[in-house]
Amino acid sequence: MTTQHFDVLIIGSGLAGLTAALRLAPTHRVAVITKRSATDGASGWAQGGIAAVLGQDDSFANHVDDTLVAGAGLCDEDATRFVVEQAPGAIAWLLELGVNFSGQDGALHLTREGGHSHRRIVHAADATGAAVQKVMVAQVRNTPNIQLFENHMLVDLITTHKLGLETDQANRCVGAYALDEVRDEVDVFAAPAVLLATGGAGKVYLYTTNPDTATGDGIAAAWRAGARVANMEFIQFHPTCLYHPHAKSFLISEAVRGEGGQLRLPDSIGGTRFMPEHDERAELAPRDVVARAIDFEMKRHGVDCVYLDISHQTPAFLEEHFPTIKARCMELGIDISQQAIPVVPAAHYTCGGVVADLHGRTDLVGLYAIGETSYSGLHGANRLASNSLLECMVYATAAALDIQQASSFETHALPAWDDSRVVDADEAVVISHNWHELRQFMWDYVGIVRTNKRLERAAHRIALLQAEIDEFYANFHVTRDLLELRNLVQTADLIVQCAQQRLESRGLHYSRDYPEQLQQAVPTILKP
C-alpha cells in the first residue's frame, strides 16, 4: 500500500476530467485516476457532437430557450446561460488542441438534433466523443505535471469528519482510497482538492447505451461523504439504441433523426410513421417525448422494436455523416441506405447528480463535481441533445479556475487502508446475481413509465440488496465488481427516493399515478 500526494486529484478520465487536468497542469501537480484505461469512459462513446452558437442566424438566447424548453421548467437559468455563453470558447479551445471537426474550407459543419431550433451541433462525423477523447488523452499523457493512474477504482472519499478531525468545522474532502487492480491493493491519494468526474449511472438499468464503467461511482461516494444530490429521478432514455442480439449498447445518434430519419412501425403492421401522432415536432421532439412514444407503440402493438428509416438519403451522404453507424450496421447485415434500423429506447444519461455550483463546488470544502456526475442545474428534467460534452468542458474549466484562485488548501496526514480483518470472498456468484437482479427490477419498475407500486417494490428490493452488500463490504477484500455493485445499489436507492418524492409527471419522470404536471417546478434535493 502506498500514499500518493498531489495538489489536485481528479477521479475519472472522460472529457470533464481531462479538461480539468489540462487546465490545471500549468500551476498544479495533478493525478488522474481511472478504473480502466483512459479511453474507456462514456465520453468516447458520444456520437452526436457539442452544441454551440456559431451560426449567423443563431443566438445565445435561442440556445438558452431550447435548453429551458427541453428541461421542462426545471433548468437553472443562470447555469444555462453560463454554459451556453462559454460554448464558443470551448470549441475554440478544442480546435487549438487539434481536434478535427467535420467541415469544409475552414468552416465547421453544423448539424441539428432533436429539441434544437437551429443547426448548432459541432461534430466529427458521427464519432465526436472518440475524436475529442483521442486528442485529449494524448495531450494528458504528454503533459509532465499530470500523472495518469489507470486500473484504479475509487473505493471512497476521505473527509475530515470521517477521520474525526475538525468535527466542529465544515466537512472537508482531503483525498480518496483507490483500489489498484493490478497490485490488488488499496492506495491512498492525498490532495487538498478533489474533482469527481466519474460520469453517470446507466448500468443500473438492464438496457443502456452506456459503457460498463457507468456505475454511479462518484455520485454514491459523494453521498456517503455527506454531499447532497438532486434530481436523480430524471434518467434520460435515449430513444434509439440499436436492437440486435449481437450489438451491445450501440447508440444510433440523435443526428440521424436530425437529418430526416423517420420512426416507423414494423412492416408486419404497416410500416407506419407514428411520431406525428404524438408530437407536432415529430422525430425532432425532445428525447423524453420520443422515448415515451416508442415505448407506447411497442406495448400497444406487442412488438420488440420499432424502425428508424434514413434510407431516403444517398449512400454518399450516409458515408460522410454517419460512417460509424453505417459500418456497424453493415457488420450486422443491415444496409442503412436500403433498410430501416431496428431500435429500442435504452437508459442513456443521468440528468441529476451531486449538487454543484457554478464553480463545480459541492457541499464539502475541497470537493468538486463536474460533468454527468454533477447536478449543475443545466439539464433540468430532460437534457437537450449535445449539451453534455459542453457541460463537461465548461464546468471543468470553471472548477480549475476556482482551484487556481484559491489562496490555500489545508493538507492532512491520512491513514492507510486497513483490511487486516477481512478475507477473500468465496461466493463471487452472489455479486453477479445481485447485479443482474438490480438491473432487471430497475428496468421493470423504475423505467420510462413508473407507478407508486412499482417504486415501492423497487425500494423494498434495494433495501434487501443493500444489507447483503454491506455485509460483503465489511467482511471481504474489496474488488471492482463489489465496489461497482455497492455504488449501483446506492445510486438506485437515490433514484427511487427522488422518484417517490416527485408527485407529478415532468420531463423524463412519468408516473401513471400523477400524470399531470404541477404548476411550480421544484428540484428534488436529497440530503444525507
Catalytic residue among 81, 112, 120, 287: 287
What's the pLDDT at 17?
97
pLDDT by residue for the chain (528 residues), tens only, comes to: 789 999 999 999 999 999 999 999 999 999 999 999 998 888 877 777 999 999 999 999 999 999 999 999 999 999 999 999 999 999 999 999 999 999 977 799 999 888 899 999 999 988 898 999 999 999 999 999 999 999 999 999 999 999 888 777 889 999 999 999 999 999 999 999 999 999 999 999 988 989 899 999 999 999 999 999 999 999 999 899 999 988 877 889 888 998 999 999 998 888 999 999 999 999 998 888 899 899 889 889 999 899 999 999 999 999 999 999 999 999 999 999 999 999 999 999 999 999 999 999 999 999 999 999 999 999 999 999 899 999 999 999 999 999 999 876 667 789 889 887 777 766 677 888 899 999 999 988 999 999 999 999 999 999 999 999 998 898 888 999 999 999 999 999 999 999 999 999 999 999 999 999 999 999 999 999
Contact criterion met (CB below 8 Å) for 140 and 150 = no
Q: Which residues contact 105 (CB under 8 A, 6 or more apart)?
A: none
Give 238's strand partners.
346
Length, in residues, of the chain:
528
Active site residue 287: yes
pTM check: above 0.95: no
Q: Map out the domains of the chain with their CATH numbers.
A: 237-347 (3.90.700.10), 428-526 (1.20.58.100)
DSSP state of 268: G
Unique residue bearing C-alpha cell 415536432: 281
Give 375's strand partners.
355
Give 31's strand partners.
9, 147
End-to-end C-alpha distance for the chain, whole angstroms: 31
CA-to-CA separations, 347 to 145, 386, 465, in angstroms, rounded:
37, 16, 21
d(C-alpha 443, C-alpha 202), whole Å: 11
d(C-alpha 195, C-alpha 368), whole Å: 5
Sign of the CA dihedral 69, 521, 84, 231?
A: negative
Unique residue bearing C-alpha cell 404541477: 518
What's the pLDDT at 448?
93
DSSP state of 151: S
What's the pLDDT at 474?
87
d(C-alpha 193, C-alpha 175), whole Å: 8
Q: Which residues contact 21 (CB under 8 A, 6 or more apart)?
A: 10, 30, 32, 140, 143, 146
Helix (H) / strand (E) element for 229: namely strand 229-230
